[in-house]
Structure 1
Amino acid sequence: MAEDDMLAKAAPPEEKDEYTKDGTVDFRGNPAKRNATGTWKACPFILGNECCERLAYYGMSSNLVIYFKTQLNQTSAVAAKNNSNWGGTCYLTPLLGAFLADAYLGRYKTIASFSIIYVIGMTLLTMSASVPGMKPTCVSKDDCHANGGQTAATFIALYLIALGTGGIKPCVSSYGADQFDDDDEVEKKHKASFFNWFYFSINVGALIASSVLVWIQDNVGWGWGFGVPAVAMAIAVLSFFSGTRLYRNQKPGGSPVTRIIQVVVASVRKYKVKVPADKSLLYETADAESSIQGSRKLDHTNEFRLVFKPKKLYL
């Protein structure tokens, strides 16, 4: 008996304990090893990316109306309209980024590629405010005039930034969640702590941007005011790429629009089929993972039953 116990202790851990159970893979596409990837080892790089990106975004956007008025010589109405149009675009582009990440690219490639676009936009914006010939011609600090080319350079830079933030904003928080395996109770508890640190990082970046960077723009110059956020964004990209070997990645699962349509069609075709009370009688794959690559299996639930099998309602 003692010999059997010694052999059991010497035996290597089972494969299911060595690898994550949620289908994540490492940067080479192999099943992610639990001890070598993810958890808090990978999170500092993601949190650093988010903090610097928010610092860059708020540092550039907080004073944008004033920049339009004093540097591009726009009226208050035009400046406010342009700022609103740009801000609205920043909240629309995440729909594109989220779709590409879930359907085709995966979160890592989406964040990486759109972060590079973001840095290009920030660099161009800095150049448009500091490089002779690209920056507006100023008689005094608040009396500047920009020609068509200079104005175009500014707005091309801004909309590159809007596109860049669209690939980062919807992916970073969920990518951080991917670093924790929900099938492991310890990691599942740590995921909640990650989100606390995640929002702390956002607020730190926003605080520095809304105070220090705004002061720099008002008192030092727009070149420095946009240059510091550009450097912060470059640091964010370097921070993100530095953790590549440590990340756990979910495989993209194809277009969600296709699956939604499949569900609606199946619901209509099987409208009269009686759902068994025992969920074990429902069709399901035997594997631990979903049959949809990159997706997780969902437990059966009676929620939304009313949507597909209407009942009489009494008001």
Structure 2
Amino acid sequence: MDCLFGTCLDGCRGITCSFWKDDWTSLGPLIEITGVSGPRISGLPEDSVVVDAIRDGEWWLSRSRSRNSTISLLKQCLPSADIIDPSREDDKFLWKIGDSPPSSKFSASSTWHFLNPPGPAVFWHESVWFKGAIPKHAFITWVVARQSCFLIIMSQTFEQMDEANRLSTWNGYVDWRNRPALRGRHGSMLAASFVLVVEVLENLAFLANASNLVLYLSTKMGFSPSGAANAVTAFMGTAFFLALLGGFLADAFFTTFHIYLVSAAIEFLGLMVLTVQAHEHSTEPWSRVVLFVGLYLVALGVGGIKGSLPPHGAEQFDEETPSGRRQRSFFFNYFIFSLSCGALIAVTVVVWLEDNKGWSYGFGVSTAAILISVPVFLAGSRFYRLKVPSGSPITTLFKVLTAAFYAKYKKRRTSRNVVTCHTRNDCDDNVTKQNCNGDDGFLGSFLGEVVRERESIPGPLHCTEDQVKDVKIVIKILPIFMSTIMLNCCLAQLSTFSVQQASTMNTKLGSFTVPPAALPVFPVVFMMILAPTYNHLLLPLARKTTNTETGITHLQRIGTGLVLSIVAMAVAALVETKRKHVVVTCCSNNNSSSYSSSPLPITFLWVAIQYVFLGSADLFTLAGMMEFFFTEAPSTMRSLATSLSWASLAMGYYLSSVLVSAVNFVTGLNHHNPWLSGKNLNQYHLERFYWLMCVLSGINFLHYLFWASRYVYRSNQG
């Protein structure tokens, strides 16, 4: 019959459209052009869909040299293979009835009349019912047949739609209503863009308080300078460490979508408490209790957001395709860009409000920012795809390790003899099990016992080979994680000694005086410039140079950040040496002491140089860590692994405090003056401390190279 299906020619996917029987070329069904022998001659089965005819981006006949008339005819009839785009939306079918133009609407009555052309009209008054030419049973039979035809057509249509949906769903992902996520509808850069906007607002709310919190605690709440510094360090370290909790919950029991919403509500509640507390202006003990309740509610909320938001954005991309992996890399770079945007607003606009209008205004802006972020996040709900939680990754980790220890202990107790293969089958089975464990030295041998001694392990400790491989991957990325802590220890200097250095220098730019506390603006602005530059200039150039998909590997990117941190510490030491030289020169010329509080005749822009290097190091390393941990970690623990980036930052802050105390203790032995103590900064030996940081960073880089050179990416493992 001439009642046909056809498909849109512009950007179809070709996964449901029949190659031979549907009118997808506008020339009619191809089987009517080639005849029934077309499928046999061309080698393409009759039940093939359009996408089956594509081979490496071309029609399967494109390279054929056959002179067969059917094949030559097909080459002339086929349009460009570019119209088949797997990334586009599903095929759209149109109804074509007879000579009428195709339509997207199905009309049962028109189809019925085409299949059963009506005869001459007979009015009811000219032929009485059930008499003459229209018997009762014939009429009823016609009604039943008409309804059956409609139901059959509709059921076939629904079956085709169900098949298309089944083929186009994301395996292991659901939408926000817990329905299977669909390709072309859920995920992609559009969904991730909502995450980037939310991160601007969230980081604004967090850093607006953290950047100026020391001043608030010391001037308004009656804390000592050291007490205020310790309170802020504990607050920020706790917030970053709690990212591990947020990542764990997202992997084990909830989705990243739900963890973000709960965490945002907790942070909003904490900011509300801080706003009310700041409005009271009280230093009573109860006010401090309210203060710390608000601070640690904020820390809990920030931890949940840090642990869920980056992996939520990264989950929106298809890692099975090169374009999806490239977009995911872009996302992590722009995530750092969003962090910087929020930080820039926080350390400029919000800090100015706190200093000039009152602390309640600053806390109020932070509260409003986190409140606005929630509807922005929810606006992208219909585009998100959510990874289905797969149980506690910590349970799997401890289960595999416990099974490995048990198997090792059991093996040593039962026998110390060398196990030999008595039959060829035993040898083959043994070799297979060894190959499954991989060539990972002690780690592979230790965890391999779980597979080799499976029969001797109690039932509750039985583990699959996939679980063993997942734990092996987690253990292998831990040395990389440990190697990044030293860099974050260097970054901690941005908010301590570097600001104090700038406060002794000339901070004027023309007629404008720059507050020393505003120095973090320099690395933030530089990161905002470098992130898109890296994405659109450096990365494409690296891809052309290396002829690889990533341009530079994740570990090379992290290593670049570590090298930049070494350079930054060397620059900081040289700048401090120059500043101390200016101090000595001024003292000798003016016959004054080094205790003078007047600004030195040297611009603070010298200090900004080390900020630029540290900002670059942060961009390369933080984005590289996030992408590395997310990509390499097992799919069941990606949120937790990504949270290691924030845990590294927290440990860097703590290590910085420990390192300063240790240096003062060691250098103060035998009645010497500690390097980092004195009546003012001019009495410090800060340049020596910076050189020490430079040397430690260099040693840490060698430690990193040891592990990075031995790491094998998951994509390169057999």
Q: Which amino acid aligns with 1:225?
A: G
Match of 1:304 in 2: 440
CA-to-aligned-CA distance 1:233-256 (integer Å, 9 cap, x gap): 111122112222221101111111
Report matched runs for 1:1-315 at 5 Å.
3-4=20-21, 6=23, 8=49, 14-15=164-165, 17-21=167-171, 23-130=172-279, 135-137=280-282, 146-268=283-405, 269=407, 274-276=430-432, 302=438, 304-309=440-445
The 3-state SS of whatever aligns with 2:307 is: coil
* 1:27-65 deviation per Cα after TM superposition (whole angstroms, max 9, x unaligned): 122221111111122122211211111011110110101
Please tell me the residue identity of whatever aligns with 2:168.
E
Cα distance between partner residues in 1 of 2:237 and 2:394: 24
TM-score (norm 1): 0.80
- Given that 1:51 and 1:205 are in contact with CA atoms closer than 8 Å, whether structure 2 keeps it comes out as yes
Change (3 A) 1:79 1:250: same
Distance 1:152 1:266 in 2: 46
**Contact 2:204–2:366, Cα closer than 8 Å, also in 1:** yes
Q: Distance in 2 between matches of 1:250 and 1:57?
A: 27
Identity of matched residues, %:
34
Determine if contact 1:18/1:34 at 8 Å carries over to the other structure. yes
Contact 1:104/1:252 (8 A) holds in 2: yes
Structure 2 vs 1, CA of residues 126 and 302 (structure 1 numbering), >3 Å: closer, same or farther? Answer: same
SS for the counterpart of 1:44 is helix
Cα distance in 2 for partners of 1:84, 1:191 equals 32
> Structure 2: 5+ residue runs without aligned partners?
1-17, 24-28, 30-48, 51-92, 94-159, 412-418, 420-428, 447-718
Q: Distance in 2 between matches of 1:100 and 1:3?
A: 50
1:175-221 per-residue CA deviation (whole Å, 9 max, x = no partner) reads 11111121233322211111122111011001111122111111121
* SS of the residue 2:351 aligns to: helix
Distance 1:14 1:304 in 2: 43
Q: Is the 8 A contact 1:24 1:250 kept in 2?
A: yes
Bigger Rg over Cα = 2
Separation of aligned partners in 2, 1:264 and 1:14: 43
Q: Which amino acid aligns with 1:112?
A: L
- Give aligned pairs, total: 277
1:250 and 1:275 map into 2 onto residues whose CA distance is 36
Q: After the TM superposition, which of the residue ranges 173-182 and 146-155 deviates more from structure 2?
A: 146-155
**Deviations 1:290-312 (Å, cap 9, x if unpaired)?**
xxxxxxxxxxx7363431327xx
Comparing 177-186 and 205-214, the one that deviates more: 177-186
Change (3 A) 1:303 1:15: farther
Alignment CA distance shift 1:38-1:262 (3 Å):
same
**Alpha-carbon spacing, 1:2–1:18, altered in 2? closer, same or farther (3 Å):** closer
- Check conservation: 2:241, 2:303, Cα contact below 8 A: yes
CA distance in 2, matches of 1:304, 1:214: 51
Deviation at 1:20, TM superposition (A): 2.1
Partner of 1:74, secondary structure, is: coil
Paired letter, 1:20: W
Write the letter of the residue equivalent to 1:219.
N
RMSD of Structure 2 on Structure 1 (CA): 2.6
1-structure distance, mates of 2:441, 2:256? 32
Give the SS at the match of 1:149: helix
**Offset, 1:92:** 2.1
Q: Is the 8 A contact 1:136 1:147 kept in 2?
A: no
Q: 1:307 is matched by which residue type in structure 2?
A: L
* 2:667 match: none
Measured in 1, the distance between the counterparts of 2:165 and 2:365 equals 47
| In 1: Cα distance, 2:386 partner to 2:21 partner | 39
The answer (yes or no) to whether the contact 2:192–2:314 under 8 Å persists in 1 is no
1:103-132 Cα distance to aligned partner (Å, 9 max, x none)? 1122111111011000111111111112xx
| Cα distance in structure 2, aligned partners of 1:38 and 1:154 | 40
CA distance in 1, matches of 2:365, 2:190: 28
Would you say the 8 A contact 1:20–1:181 is kept in 2? no
Paired residues of 2:191 and 2:384 also in contact (CA < 8 A) = yes
Residue 136 of structure 1: CA displacement?
Answer: 1.6
Worse-matched range after superposition: 266-275 or 62-71: 266-275
Residue 16 (structure 1) shift: 5.9
- Tell me, in whole angstroms, the C-alpha distance in 1 between the residues paired with 2:173 and 2:226: 50
C-alpha distance 3-99 of structure 1, shift in aligned 2 (>3 A): closer
Distance 1:306 1:75, change over 3 A: same
The alignment's TM-score, normalised by the length of structure 2, stands at 0.36
